[in-house]
Structures are given as C-alpha cells and as structure tokens.
Amino acid sequence: MSVAIDVHGLNKSFGGKRVVKDVSIAVEEGHVTGFLGPNGSGKTTTMRLLCGLLTPDSGSGTCLGLDILTQAGAIKLQTGYMTQKFSLYEDLTIEENLSFIARIYGMSDRRRRVTEALEKLGLETRRRQLSGTLSGGWKQRLALAAAVLHEPRLLLLDEPTAGVDPKARRDFWDEIHRLAADGLTVMVSTHYMDEAERCHDIAYIAYGELIARGTVDELVDAANLITFRGEGPGADRLAHELLDKPGVATAAPFGSIVHVSGEDREALEAAIAPYRRDPYRWSESRPTIEDVFIHLMDRSEDNFQ
C-alpha cells in the first residue's frame, strides 16, 4: 500500500503557545486514521498541517505526493473537509447546497454529479428539504456528501458524529469505510472509543505531541497496562477507594463492574488484595482502548505539569 501523507518535525505555535510539537507521521492511502487525545491537544491543528490547510512554523513533508509547504493549493483541491460545526446554508435545500458547492469547485456536469451524490448518500427523499430543518443525522449526511462531492483523495473529518444517534453514526461509519475501500484516505478526530475501534489505526496526541501510533491492538499491547475486573454486588462502588491506592492508575465503574488498571502488577495486586473476599470476584482482563486512553491522558497530564 502506498503512503498518502509523510511529514517530519512539524511545529506550530499560536500567539507564542506551541500547540504542535515535532510531529512526524505517515498515513497510508485508503486508511481511516483516528486522531484522539484530550480537548485542545492539537488534533485539529495537526490534521490541518498535514494537508497544507495550515503552514507549519517548521517541518516538511508530502501529502498526496505534493509538498505541504510549496504545493498546499493543489493539495487543498484534492481534500474534502467536514468541520465540527455544520457550515452549509440552512435556508437552502439539500440539493441547492450541493449544487452551490459544485459551482464553487467549477465542476462540469453538475446536475449529474449532484444527482449521483444524492443517490449515493441516501439523500434523494429529502432533496427538497431546507437544510436548517434537518435532524443532526441528516445534516451530517449532507455535510459528508458536500465534502466528497468533488471526489477528493483525502477527507478530513473533525469530530463528525458529535450529538448524532447510534444508528446514524453506524451508517456514517459504514459510508466512510465504503469510501476508504475505493481508495480515499480519511483522517478523523474523535473522542468516541467505538469510533476509535472502527479506524484502521490511531494517532494519539496529547499537548501537541504524538505519543502513540498504531492499531487499537498495538496501542493496547504497547501500553503495558494490567487490568483487573471486579464483579459482585457493589463492586462498582469500590472505584473511588481503589483510586487512592498506590499502583492504581485508573479505576472506573462500568455498570456494576469495576475496572482497575496500573503498570505495576505487584502494586496493583496489593491494592485489590483487601477486596479479594465475598461478595467480590476478581479476574484479569485485557485492557480496553478506553482504559489505555485514560491512562495515556493521566500520564501526559503529569508530564505536562
């Protein structure tokens, strides 16, 4: 598989604050790469730097085989971008919005391509509905249709499914994977764990630094985290007490179960030892990607302070 993005040592500051620090990353063509990390950690800024939408203060690289410093204009033409906020005209219909976008791009054969996009994204039945009256899920579908109308090779999605119901999110992700299977490279920022699991690979960014990169399984393995699962009546209520114990990095209730994680097996065992009694049952389990991200977040916060 070929590389769609390959950049080295990217830095970016805003008003003296360094928000992207020495980021080097490669993204494969046709892959869906998820950007995760705490709020304000630089995910959006990094994604914008990678495709020339922002100019780095230093660093270099290529996107779609083009230089991000000198050929940013050409990259932009081949990039689709769905921003966090719905940014189409609310007082135009679905069809009018798409026709408008087609005009902006100076696309030939506009009517056919808009019709095709309406069919492909399942928007035909509502083509004459004013965009401002659509539900969150439909707005998001329209925003996706608009972002891919000009058939970009790279698609940037910035927290695309915030506030959208599970069915619409699943449909959206199915569509993203269909597009990727046709060769589109997708970069998506998200805070949702189930979405992280639907990406081919993950880039975890904290305080401007790329601190983990790989598939979900690779990230879970690399975290070297040990997780125990406690069950039994009231086990979830142990989370609070466990968090204060040495060796416990994270402790969180999941329904009536508690997940306790740490890097030091001995210390973790010692922390749960007092609770190895009725009515609790303990077993070791593979950490979830959420356990790993919370741990990474806590650790990078400590390093940052």
Q: State the residues that interact with ligand ATP by CB under 6 A.
A: 14-15, 19, 37, 39-45, 189
One-letter identity of residue 288:
T
Cα(229)–Cα(193) distance, integer angstroms: 19
188 vs 238, which CB is nearer to ligand ATP? 188
Residue 41 or 79: the one with the smaller Cβ distance to ligand ATP is 41
Pairing status of strand 185-189 against strand 32-36? parallel
Nearer to ligand ATP, 228 or 293 (CB): 293
What angle in degrees, to the nearest 10, is found between the helix axes of 136-148 and 94-104?
20
C-alpha span between 240 and 68 (Å, rounded): 48
Nearer CB in complex with ligand ATP: 36/94: 36
Nearer residue to ligand ATP within complex by CB, 44 or 62: 44
Nearer to ligand ATP, 43 or 113 (CB): 43
Least separation in angstroms between residue 58's CB and ligand ATP is 17
Give me the least distance between CB of 253 and ligand ATP, in Å please: 25
Helices 136-148 and 110-120: angle between axes, nearest 10 degrees: 140
Q: Least CB distance from residue 63 to ligand ATP, whole Å? A: 17
Output the smallest distance, CB 209 to ligand ATP, in A. 12
Give me the helices (H) in the chain, please: 43-50, 72-77, 94-104, 110-120, 136-148, 166-181, 193-197, 216-222, 239-243, 265-272, 289-304
Helices (H) and strands (E) in the chain, counts: 11, 14
Q: CB of residue 208 vs ligand ATP: minimum separation in angstroms? A: 7
Contact at 8 Å (CB) between 7 and 25?
Answer: yes
| Shortest separation between residue 276's beta carbon and ligand ATP, angstroms | 39
- Of 59 and 262, which has the nearer Cβ to ligand ATP? 59
Distance of closest approach, residue 158 Cβ to ligand ATP, in angstroms: 7
Q: Measured from the CB atom, is 42 or 52 closer to ligand ATP? A: 42
As measured in angstroms, the least distance from the Cβ of 55 to ligand ATP is 12
Would you list the DSSP string of 61-117?
EEETTEETTT-HHHHHHTEEEE-SS--S-TTSBHHHHHHHHHHHTT-SSHHHHHHHH
User: What CA–CA distance (Å, rounded) separates 252 from 259?
Assistant: 5
Give dist(CA 33, CA 27) in Å, integer: 7
